Amino acid sequence: MERLSPQEKKLKLIQDFNAFNQWEDRYKKLIELGKKLPPLAENEKVDANIVKGCQSQVWIISKKNQDGYVEYTGDSDALISKGLVALVLGIYSGGTPQEILSTPPDFIKELGFETHLSPSRTNGLFSMIKKVVMDAYLFQNKA
């Protein structure tokens, strides 16, 4: 299977979500994404992995594999938040630190999440992206 860059995954995601005209359908798609996300083990749900700034509990773990790609795993205790975790990880996981850092989160605005999610959920989404980007930055500078 061909590896897609975060930028390519982002464009595909925008295309997938734009197929839905109704916001209710986009929420259903988001929840569906969250349900497909494998849960973290209880021993991974520790303070060190918590994403600060989220209304619900969100955990994101990152590691750089031997090929230089950053792999993210994550979970949440709320359905919509878990869908947002799945969305973010679906875009950025498997990218190189440089690819991750050069893929802006403009999909948030393009998909209308800024206006259709509650302010606290939007802040949480930005906190998730901040965590993903910061980890990529740290991996890039750990050469």
Q: For 104-129, write each residue's pLDDT tens digit.
A: 999 998 888 888 888 889 999 999 99
Parse the chain into domains and list their residue ranges: 6-140
* Selected catalytic residue, list 51, 54, 108, 129: 54
Q: Which of 130, 125, 129, 135 is nearest to 55 (CA)?
A: 125
pLDDT digits (tens, 9 = 90+) for 80-91: 999 999 999 999
Fold of 6-140: Sufe protein. Chain: A (3.90.1010)
Note the pTM of the prediction, 2 decimals: 0.94
Handedness of CA 87, 111, 6, 101 (dihedral sign): negative
Task: Based on the residue annotation, tell me whether 116 is a catalytic residue of this protein.
Answer: no
Give the three-class secondary structure for 41. Answer: coil
